[in-house]
Amino acid sequence: MLCTGAVIVICAVGAEGLKTPVNQPSVEARVDTILIDTLARFGAKDKPPVPFPHDLHTEALAKQQKDCLTCHLKESVPPSVSADQGSQQKERMSIKFKRLEDTNAKEGRRIYHDNCIGCHTTLAEKGEKFGPIVCGECHREQPGQKSARKPMGMDNSLHFRHSKAAKDKCEVCHHGFDEKAKKLFYDKGKEGTCRYCHKAQTEENRVSMPTASHLSCVECHRVATEKNLKAGPVTCYGCHDAKAQEKIKKVEPLPRMERSQPDTLFVKTMRNGQQGEITRMNPVPFDHKAHEGYKDTCRVCHHASLTACNECHAIGKPLKEGNYVQLERAMHQWDSEKSCGGCHRLQQRFKECAGCHVSIPQGRNDQTESCLKCHMKPLPDSASVPLTAEAQAELAKRLLQSREPVKGTYPVEEIPEKATINRFVNKYEGVNLPHRKIVLSIAEKVDKSKQAGKLAPYFHDDKATICQGCHHNSPASVKPPSCVTCHSAPFDEGNLMKPGIIGAYHQQCMGCHEVMGIEKPKECVDCHKERKN
């Protein structure tokens, strides 16, 4: 029986990993390295903290037929959480080393020195392999270890596996906190991610996320392992090693996680019971069910709670609950994956899309047409959004179904087969660009886009939209103006950010090859034939 690998992480306040000093070549990166810095909470920092390879120690103990209780004591389980492991156990293993609570710096120092150095000394006397027994071998200014620990989370696939194992008894893991009674309870119908309550550091009425994880998750695995039941990892490497995480089985197809959420809805602008703050934009119909399948966790959008966005982000006065971010910014912030606009823009970075979008100036789109992709005009037979939730959901569904994706581009015969680039005639022959082949290839990628909900066909305005990947400053047209209309032979001295025509060609063509993962020409003559006269 191996000890719970990550449990001891919480023995030390600074258990987030170690920073390697600059210019230190011999530093071992270990997943199980934790930082014992317990005395810091008492202001006692007379010596550097101690990097501790946890799994290395549990493996050594296992060879001696010893388990977790060699280092960890048992503590009573509060009645309100006694069913967390699916049974009525009265005790659980403490996450602290050889103690149940922290008292003072002197006592903490004694516990570590007596037990750690004492164990190492005993092994040395027996002639067995032992660890450090002098101060400088543990407390080092430049530690020989650093943490390679990768944070562990629970995506929807892993959640489904746990839900199935617990036989859909959500109360096994989920609980709320009763402020008046000062105890935990099961708040049915309001289950959310643990991270909504448990933050990075322990607070007044709640333990940190690492502490909560090891008290519940790893302890549950440990108890099940003791009973010879199938269970998850109990070692640091089992949870926090990148390769181990890649091996975690994914459930496919993944059943929908049910929490009474709607299939379709209108994005709300006013908080429940709020009056007077009405947006001037058309309401936004939202396919909630479809979006659930695009990401592996609900926290991508519901980053603070599973309530509606407008409960934290208002269109009027900024709210503290939403970090003073107004609803409009929360939905349109381009540099944040948490916003709708930011998530959509993130799709443009995929190699199938990046070839065009890296060269299209941001913010140049027709704002009216762009806005109406989400702020859809209500259907002709609906003067206003109905009041009932059921009617709103049905209208949102009808609006979403009325969308018509743009498929393909212009008929083949209207697309020039080749485009000749002859700006290099002084040294090279003109380049016969396979224009039609490129256009049809891009159109095919748009139609088969695997990004969220095949996003591209709905946001491309018309059949000429894909032309703007190259003709990025021209209006959408079957016959856009030539590149020299904007890019002159030499560069523009009045606009140093606009390349000359030769630079524009190379930047556009070779840049597209690079971001789309297409092999780039190695020599000039791979594209240009060198003139012989």
Predicted confidence (pLDDT) per residue in 391-441, tens digit: 889 999 999 999 888 888 999 999 999 988 887 667 788 888 999 999 999
pLDDT recorded at residue 245 = 95
pLDDT of residue 325 exceeding 50, the answer is: yes
**Domains of the chain, earliest start first:** 7-147 (3.90.10.10), 264-401 (3.90.10.10), 412-526 (3.90.10.10)
Q: Please report which residue ranges of 423-497 form alpha helices under DSSP H.
A: 435-447, 455-459
pLDDT recorded at residue 5 = 33
Per residue in 94-107, pLDDT (tens digit) is 999 999 999 999 99
pLDDT of residue 4 exceeding 60, the answer is: no
Q: Worst-scoring range by mean pLDDT, 261-275, 310-324, 361-375?
A: 361-375
Per residue in 456-469, pLDDT (tens digit) is 888 887 888 888 88
Per residue in 267-310, pLDDT (tens digit) is 888 765 555 455 678 889 999 999 998 888 999 999 999 988 98
DSSP letters of 113-171? IIIIIHHHHHHHHTT------SHHHHS-SS-SEEE--------HHHHHHHHHHTTT-GG
Secondary structure in 3-state letters for 285-338: EEEHHHHHCCCCCHHHCCCCCCCCHHHCCCCCCCCHHHCCCCHHHHHHCCCCCC
- The mean pLDDT of 153-159, rounded to a whole number, is 93
Work out the percent of the chain whose per-residue pLDDT is above 90: 37
pLDDT recorded at residue 235 = 93
Rounded CA separation 148/146 (Å): 7
- The mean pLDDT of 353-381, rounded to a whole number, is 75
Mean of the per-residue pLDDT values of the chain: 84
pLDDT of residue 61 exceeding 60, the answer is: yes
pLDDT recorded at residue 362 = 63
pLDDT recorded at residue 368 = 56
pTM of the model: 0.79
- The mean pLDDT of 233-260, rounded to a whole number, is 93
Which residues are CB-neighbours of 509 under 8 A, at least 6 positions away? 527
Is the CA virtual torsion 292, 295, 298, 303 positive or negative? negative
Q: Worst-scoring range by mean pLDDT, 123-132, 470-479, 487-496?
A: 487-496
Strand partners, 52: 34
End-to-end CA gap in the chain: 82
Q: Worst-scoring range by mean pLDDT, 227-231, 381-385, 449-453?
A: 381-385
- The mean pLDDT of 158-168, rounded to a whole number, is 93
Whether the CB-CB separation of 168 and 307 falls below 8 Å is answered with no
- The mean pLDDT of 108-126, rounded to a whole number, is 94
pLDDT recorded at residue 88 = 54
Indicate the pLDDT class of residue 7, thresholds 50, 70 and 90: very low
Per residue in 11-53, pLDDT (tens digit) is 333 333 344 444 444 688 999 999 999 888 888 778 899 999 9
Per residue in 62-90, pLDDT (tens digit) is 999 998 889 999 998 876 554 444 445 67
pLDDT recorded at residue 104 = 92
